[in-house]
């Protein structure tokens, strides 16, 4: 059916008719009647009908066809109202030549009214889609038109067809030539003739044309809205009804001024489909985004033809606004002597609202009625006068604005009038901030941004610091779009991709998000999307998501992660970021490594029983699972600085997140994960490291399920679950309980013991020094004791480094360095002399030669080592040559640091001294070959006793106990029990070294004891002789 219109009108009424005209099989009619004149009223009616049909015939094109062609014409007649039935009766059986009118029906009745023409459709007719879309009111039965001529109703069964044709075949190539060429004209005429033929019958369409047709049919399906007039609290249902089963899925769309959106199941919509109908059910209290032109479409693919059945309708919603109510001024001030104060209430509904509301103002505690005005820029105002007398009941005056929509639904907002009475404290106006009542907070809208600024007036009437929660308009737009990606308008995945693209563009400019409010809003965008049922399948969407997430971690935005009034990071913000990005990475289709500036993501597929390995930012993650799955690892730069640390621990690695997708989700808790971190800062000696994972429940780092692999693998963590991992390093080195106290006590005892030793040596010098060997031995004893005494005194003097000036700390370090080295070199002199005498008992050297050698070795060599070390380490610079924390040489690492200029010489000397001891012991254990067998056992026992006594006597003076010092250096305190045991042994043996020297070199030497006892007998009474003799006897044994 192809509609054609013919107009006719009477003075009192208009009758619109539909004429069905049928032609014969040979050709279409060229004229419908010959116009015979009649004198009667009936003949006049015939005449007008013939004229109508004649005019219709002038517009009919002739074409060859093999079947009847039926066309529908819409005609508007202007005749006397009483003649309408007669014309209908006359024309219904009209037949002329091959043409026959077989139906004439009234479609529309119009009447003149004050506003124009009020028209209504006859039964079985409706307003066309164009009329309905122009005004939703015209979707009802009656419609008033101001334009002339008024539209006509169409049949409920009317179908409009339009579309395009794709032609194939060389016979149509000439149709592509210029329009004024002969070839184009011929091709066009031939094609038009063929189309007229086949379209007049709508039969054999595909067979006669070598073409692909794309047709859109309107009228074969009907779209209705229930209720027709949608109110805010209604739950509208849009239903498309089919006349036959089309065996294709429906496509729902909403056309708005900002684009066309496909409708899906969402939080605000539900799409249902049945064989003969499909519906969209919307939530109650839906916002204005659901207003517009709805269409439902069924698409059929038949052979090479595409036929689209489409119906559309416009839905207008009677909305209710979101109201932001305030007063102006925010805190009206009653000055002394004032009886009244003017106040204005403001109800702001925004500038985007197009709804016409009726606004009513009411109030409580007001002195006069409210004078309403507005709206201006979406703001409705009401002015009132309030008394300056404080109400006895304490109730505050109130202003209430009530909005009514066209459905009679209401919504109101009430605001208190906070008056500053004459006796009240307040903060005086300051810049943008007006007078504010004490203990209240003033608010201002952000300029060119979303959000508010706030500033509190304290109870004492003083201004506090302003807090601005202003969000960049673009960031706020992205946030609002993120909230509605799954409401049902548009594909959630496509909507999310658009948001990621927008957020990526925003975050590329760090200046646009360099505040806490913008950072918080940006992260809320990610969090909102992470909670939506979306998948990130497109490559561009994945890149935009990772790029924007990386931009948020830029170092230039460090201050944006913290609140203005807080000195530490807001842990919930960083936690929200981590949770959001982790979830989005899970939703993203990432099959290969993605690298951004601050985020890297690696992906791999694990086969059953295999070990997977991913690497991000030089951090390697090895995962061992018994079940196959997809493993994704993400590394985050800078994020560790924003997450809260454990007390006394700081982050020392990036945050690495590992997730695994597998069907066996219950087995994810039993995986073995090994992470090889790159430490951001070197771990100082004895400093503990914690391997931690982020616990979303507690919002803190947890050691549960993770274990540090020790100082030998200081960057390696082993965990038994999947999470976000990091390394925390202690701010302070581990300490051994009671070790400092034990050290100070031991050194104090050693100092006293060394002083006693020196006094004894000087006292008995002449009595014990009889030979060159004894002279050299006691000389070495004195120098060893003297160096150790000075070193121990310096150690005690620098026991509190934090209280020492840097210069004194440096001096003590140099003295300790030199004195301890000199002590060991004198020990070396002593052991070398003993070794020489043991191996070469008959070889003798002069006393002066030995003494020069001892002095050179005992003082010059240590001095050279200290001077060279001092110069090489930046002239004894702080934290280069020595540590200001300990006032001792600095240890950086294995073979690194000035401490090795002490350790290496001491190690060599101790090794040599031990060797010397072993040689001496072997000599003592060696007994003559000719010894009797009867005395062999006794001699062996004596040899063993002598050897044991030699070990005991030589160990302190040879510094052998310092061997445990190497163990202390090699074994980190983080190793646990073994490290603590070694430290206690070393401290006991070496802090008390002076005391042991006193026991072994003075009191353990028989000659010294005898000489000392002889000196004591000169002054002691005779009764002490026996006791001394017993003591001497004891030492001999």
Q: What percent of the chain has pLDDT over 90?
A: 43
Rounded average pLDDT over 369-377: 85
Rounded average pLDDT over 543-568: 83
- Would 1034 be classed as within a structural domain? no
* Segment of 147-151, 665-669, 865-869, 935-939 carrying the highest mean pLDDT: 865-869
- Would 1027 be classed as within a structural domain? no
Alpha-carbon distance of 233 to 235, in angstroms, equals 7
Rounded average pLDDT over 565-584: 77
pLDDT tens-place string over residues 623-673: 887 777 889 999 999 999 999 888 889 999 999 999 888 665 545 556 889
Q: Which of 589, 606, 629 is the last residue of a domain?
A: 589
Residue 483: the pLDDT is 95
Residue 562: the pLDDT is 82
Rounded average pLDDT over 731-758: 91
Residue 647: the pLDDT is 86
In this structure, of 15-19, 222-226, 275-279, 903-907, the range with the lowest mean pLDDT score is 15-19
In this structure, of 567-576, 618-627, 963-972, the range with the lowest mean pLDDT score is 567-576
**Tokens 């002239």, residue?**
875
In this structure, of 163-172, 618-627, 635-644, 1005-1014, the range with the lowest mean pLDDT score is 163-172
Pair 337, 307 in one domain: no
pLDDT tens-place string over residues 882-904: 988 889 998 887 788 899 999 99
> Looking at the 3D structure of the chain, how many domains does it have?
7
- Would 1009 be classed as within a structural domain? no
Give the domain CATH number at 226. Answer: 2.60.40.10
Residue pair 1012/760 in contact (Cβ under 8 Å)? The answer is: yes
pLDDT at 513 over 60: yes
In this structure, of 385-394, 445-454, 560-569, 752-761, the range with the lowest mean pLDDT score is 560-569
Output the CA torsion 531→532→533→539 (10° steps): -100
| Dihedral over Cα of 976, 981, 986, 992: its sign | positive
Residue pair 588/545 in contact (Cβ under 8 Å)? The answer is: yes
Rounded average pLDDT over 78-99: 60
pLDDT at 229 over 80: yes
Q: Which of 733, 768, 789 is the last residue of a domain?
A: 733
Residue pair 212/305 in contact (Cβ under 8 Å)? The answer is: yes
Alpha-carbon distance of 469 to 524, in angstroms, equals 14
Give, to the nearest 10 degrees, the angle between helix 772-797 and helix 806-839. 160
DSSP 465-521: --EEEEE-HHHHHHHHHHHTTTSSBS-HHHHHHHHHHHHHHHHTSGGGG-SHHHHHH
What are the φ and ψ backbone dihedral angles of 878, each rounded to 5 degrees?
Answer: -65, 140
pLDDT tens-place string over residues 107-125: 888 877 877 788 888 887 8
Give, to the nearest 10 degrees, the angle between helix 571-587 and helix 516-530. 40
Pair 373, 474 in one domain: no
Q: Give the three-state DSSP class for 322.
A: coil
Pair 872, 797 in one domain: yes
Pair 260, 408 in one domain: no
More confident residue, 74 or 732: 732
Residue 163: the pLDDT is 67
Pair 466, 572 in one domain: yes
Residue 178: the pLDDT is 85
CA 246 to chain centroid: 47
pLDDT classification of 58: cutoffs 50, 70, 90? very low
- Whether cis (ω within 30° of 0) applies to the bond prior to 539 is no
pLDDT tens-place string over residues 466-508: 999 999 999 999 999 999 999 999 999 999 999 999 999 999 9
Helix (H) or strand (E) holding 143: strand 142-145
pLDDT at 11 over 50: no
Residue 212: the pLDDT is 66
Alpha-carbon distance of 253 to 261, in angstroms, equals 5
Pair 309, 335 in one domain: no
In this structure, of 34-48, 163-177, 921-935, the range with the lowest mean pLDDT score is 34-48
- Tell me the two tokens of residue 372: 């309403």
pLDDT tens-place string over residues 899-950: 999 999 999 999 998 888 888 777 767 755 555 555 555 655 665 565 566 5
Rounded average pLDDT over 847-870: 90
Query: Which pTM was predicted?
Result: 0.74
Rounded average pLDDT over 764-770: 84
Residue 243 CB contacts under 8 Å (≥ 6 apart), including other chains: 220, 221
Output the CA torsion 650→652→655→659 (10° steps): -110
- Would 436 be classed as within a structural domain? no
Pair 717, 769 in one domain: no
Residue 609: the pLDDT is 64
Residue 444: the pLDDT is 94
pLDDT tens-place string over residues 771-799: 888 888 888 889 999 999 999 999 999 98
Residue of 31, 15, 11, 12 whose CA lies nearest to 23: 31
More confident residue, 158 or 371: 371
Q: Which of 521, 554, 589 is the last residue of a domain?
A: 589
Residue 717: the pLDDT is 95
Give, to the nearest 10 degrees, the angle between helix 806-839 and helix 861-872. 140
In this structure, of 642-651, 665-674, 756-765, 957-966, the range with the lowest mean pLDDT score is 665-674
Alpha-carbon distance of 869 to 872, in angstroms, equals 5
Look up the domain containing 14 and give its range.
5-126+137-152
pLDDT at 361 over 70: yes
Q: How many CB atoms lie within 10 A of CB 72?
A: 17
Residue 78: the pLDDT is 60
Rounded average pLDDT over 580-602: 93
Residue 944: the pLDDT is 58
Alpha-carbon distance of 688 to 651, in angstroms, equals 12
Work out the mean pLDDT of the chain and round it to a whole number. 81
Give the domain CATH number at 342. Answer: 2.60.40
Tell how strand 99-113 and strand 14-23 pair up: antiparallel
Residue pair 734/686 in contact (Cβ under 8 Å)? The answer is: yes
Pair 464, 571 in one domain: yes
Residue 1019: the pLDDT is 59
Alpha-carbon distance of 675 to 655, in angstroms, equals 11
- Would 1019 be classed as within a structural domain? no
Residue 565: the pLDDT is 44
Q: How many CB atoms lie within 10 A of CB 750?
A: 28
Residue 136: the pLDDT is 62
pLDDT at 12 over 70: no
- Would 919 be classed as within a structural domain? yes
Residue 375: the pLDDT is 86
- Would 488 be classed as within a structural domain? yes
Residue of 642, 637, 707 whose CA lies nearest to 675: 707
pLDDT tens-place string over residues 812-834: 999 999 999 999 999 898 888 88
Pair 507, 551 in one domain: yes
Pair 836, 985 in one domain: yes
Alpha-carbon distance of 52 to 77, in angstroms, equals 9
DSSP state of 678: -
More confident residue, 514 or 129: 514
- Would 1028 be classed as within a structural domain? no
Pair 277, 146 in one domain: no
More confident residue, 60 or 251: 251
Pair 831, 709 in one domain: no
């Amino acid at each position: 059916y192809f509609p054609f219109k013919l107009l006719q009108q009477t003075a009192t009424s208009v009758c619109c008719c539909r004429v069905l005209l049928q032609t014969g099989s040979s050709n279409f009619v060229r004229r419908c009647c010959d116009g015979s004149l009649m004198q009667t009223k009936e003949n006049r009616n015939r005449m007008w009908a013939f004229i109508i049909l004649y005019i219709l015939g002038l517009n009919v094109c002739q074409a060859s066809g093999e079947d009847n062609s039926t066309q529908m014409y819409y005609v508007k007649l202007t005749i006397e109202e009483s003649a309408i039935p007669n014309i209908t009766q006359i024309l219904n059986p009209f037949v002329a030549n091959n043409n026959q009118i077989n139906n004439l029906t009234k479609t529309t009745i119009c009447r003149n009214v004050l506003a124009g023409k009020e028209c209504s459709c006859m039964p079985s007719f409706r307003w066309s889609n164009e009329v309905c879309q122009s005004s939703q009111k015209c979707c009802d039965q009656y419609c008033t038109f101001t334009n002339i001529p008024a539209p006509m109703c169409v049949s409920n069964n009317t179908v409009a067809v339009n579309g395009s044709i794709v032609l194939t075949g060389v016979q149509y190539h000439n149709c592509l030539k210029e329009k004024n060429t002969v070839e184009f004209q011929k091709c066009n005429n031939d094609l038009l003739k063929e189309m007229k033929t086949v379209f007049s019958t709508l039969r054999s369409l595909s067979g006669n044309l070598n073409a692909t047709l794309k047709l859109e049919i309107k009228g074969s399906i009907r779209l209705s809205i229930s209720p027709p007039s949608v109110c805010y609290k209604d739950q509208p249902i849009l239903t498309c009804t089919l006349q036959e089963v089309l065996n294709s899925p429906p496509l729902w769309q909403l056309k708005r001024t900002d684009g066309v959106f496909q409708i899906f199941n969402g939080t605000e919509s539900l799409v249902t489909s049945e064989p003969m109908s499909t519906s969209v059910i919307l939530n109650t209290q839906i916002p204005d985004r659901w207003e517009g032109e709805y269409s439902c479409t069924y698409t059929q693919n038949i052979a090479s033809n595409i036929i689209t059945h489409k119906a559309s309708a416009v839905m207008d919603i009677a909305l209710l606004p979101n109201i932001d109510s305030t007063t102006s001024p925010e805190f009206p001030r009653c000055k002394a002597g004032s009886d009244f104060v003017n106040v204005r209430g403001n109800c702001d509904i925004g500038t985007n609202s197009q709804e016409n509301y009726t606004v009513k103002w009411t109030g409580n505690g007001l002195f006069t009625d409210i004078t309403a005005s507005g709206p201006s820029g979406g703001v409705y105002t009401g002015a009132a006068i309030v008394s300056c007398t404080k109400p006895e009941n304490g109730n505050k005056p109130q202003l209430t604005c009530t909005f009514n929509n066209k459905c009679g639904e209401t919504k109101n907002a009430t605001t208190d009038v906070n008056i500053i009475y004459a006796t009240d404290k307040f903060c005086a106006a300051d810049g943008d901030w007006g007078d504010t009542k004490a203990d209240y907070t003033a608010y201002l809208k952000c300029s060119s941004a979303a959000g508010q600024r706030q500033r509190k007036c304290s109870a004492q009437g003083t201004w506090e610091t302003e807090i601005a929660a202003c969000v960049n308009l673009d960031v706020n737009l992205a946030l609002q779009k993120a909230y509605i990606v799954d409401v049902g308008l548009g594909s959630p995945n496509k909507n999310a991709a658009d948001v990621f693209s927008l957020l990526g563009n925003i975050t590329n400019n760090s200046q646009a998000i360099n505040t806490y409010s913008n950072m918080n809003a940006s992260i809320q965008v990610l969090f909102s999307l992470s909670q939506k049922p979306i998948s990130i399948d497109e490559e561009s969407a994945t890149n935009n998501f990772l790029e924007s997430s990386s931009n948020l971690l830029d170092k230039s935005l460090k201050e944006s992660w913290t609140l203005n009034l807080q000195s530490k990071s807001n842990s919930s913000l960083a936690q929200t970021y981590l949770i959001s990005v982790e979830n989005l990475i899970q939703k993203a289709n990432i099959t290969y490594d993605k690298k951004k500036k601050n985020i890297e993501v690696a992906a791999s597929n694990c086969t059953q029983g295999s070990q997977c390995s991913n690497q991000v930012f030089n951090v390697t993650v090895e995962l061992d699972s018994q079940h196959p799955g997809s493993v994704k690892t993400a590394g985050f730069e800078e994020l560790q600085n924003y997450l809260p640390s454990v007390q006394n621990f700081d982050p020392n690695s990036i945050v690495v997140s590992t997730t695994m997708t597998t069907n066996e989700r219950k087995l994810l808790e039993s995986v073995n994960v090994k992470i090889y971190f790159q430490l951001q800062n070197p771990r100082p000696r004895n400093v503990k490291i914690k391997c931690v994972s982020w616990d979303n429940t507690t919002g803190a780092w947890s050691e549960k399920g993770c274990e540090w692999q020790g100082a030998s693998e200081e960057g390696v963590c082993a965990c038994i679950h999947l999470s976000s991992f990091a390394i925390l390093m202690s701010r302070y080195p581990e300490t051994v309980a009671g070790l400092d106290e034990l050290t100070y006590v031991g050194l104090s005892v050693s100092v006293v013991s060394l002083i006693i030793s020196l006094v004894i040596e000087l006292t008995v010098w002449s009595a014990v020094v009889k030979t060159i060997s004894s002279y050299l031995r006691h000389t070495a004893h004195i120098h060893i004791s003297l160096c150790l005494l000075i070193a121990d005194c310096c150690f005690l003097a620098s026991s509190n480094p934090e209280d020492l000036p840097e210069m004194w700390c440096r001096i003590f370090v140099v003295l300790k360095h030199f004195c301890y080295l000199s002590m060991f070199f004198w020990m070396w002199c002593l052991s070398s002399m003993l070794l020489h005498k043991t191996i070469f008992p008959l070889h003798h050297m002069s006393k002066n030669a030995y003494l020069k050698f001892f002095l050179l070795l005992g003082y010059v060599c240590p001095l050279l080592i200290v001077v060279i070390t001092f110069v090489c380490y930046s002239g004894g610079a702080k934290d280069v040559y020595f540590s200001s924390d300990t006032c001792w040489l600095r240890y950086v690492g294995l073979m690194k640091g000035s401490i090795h200029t002490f350790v290496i010489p001491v190690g060599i000397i101790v090794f040599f001294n031990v060797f010397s001891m072993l040689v001496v012991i072997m000599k003592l254990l060696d007994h003559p070959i000719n010894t009797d067998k009867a005395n062999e056992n006794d001699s062996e026992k004596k040899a063993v006793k002598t050897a044991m006594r030699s070990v005991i006597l030589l160990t302190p003076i040879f510094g052998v106990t310092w061997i445990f010092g190497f163990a202390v250096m090699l074994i980190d305190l983080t190793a646990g029990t073994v490290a603590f045991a070694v430290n206690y042994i070393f401290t006991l043996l070496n802090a008390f070294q002076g005391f042991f020297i006193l026991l072994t070199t003075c009191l353990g030497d028989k000659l010294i004891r005898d000489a000392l006892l002889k000196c004591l007998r000169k002054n002691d009474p005779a009764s002490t002789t026996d006791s001394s003799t017993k003591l001497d006897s004891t030492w001999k044994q």
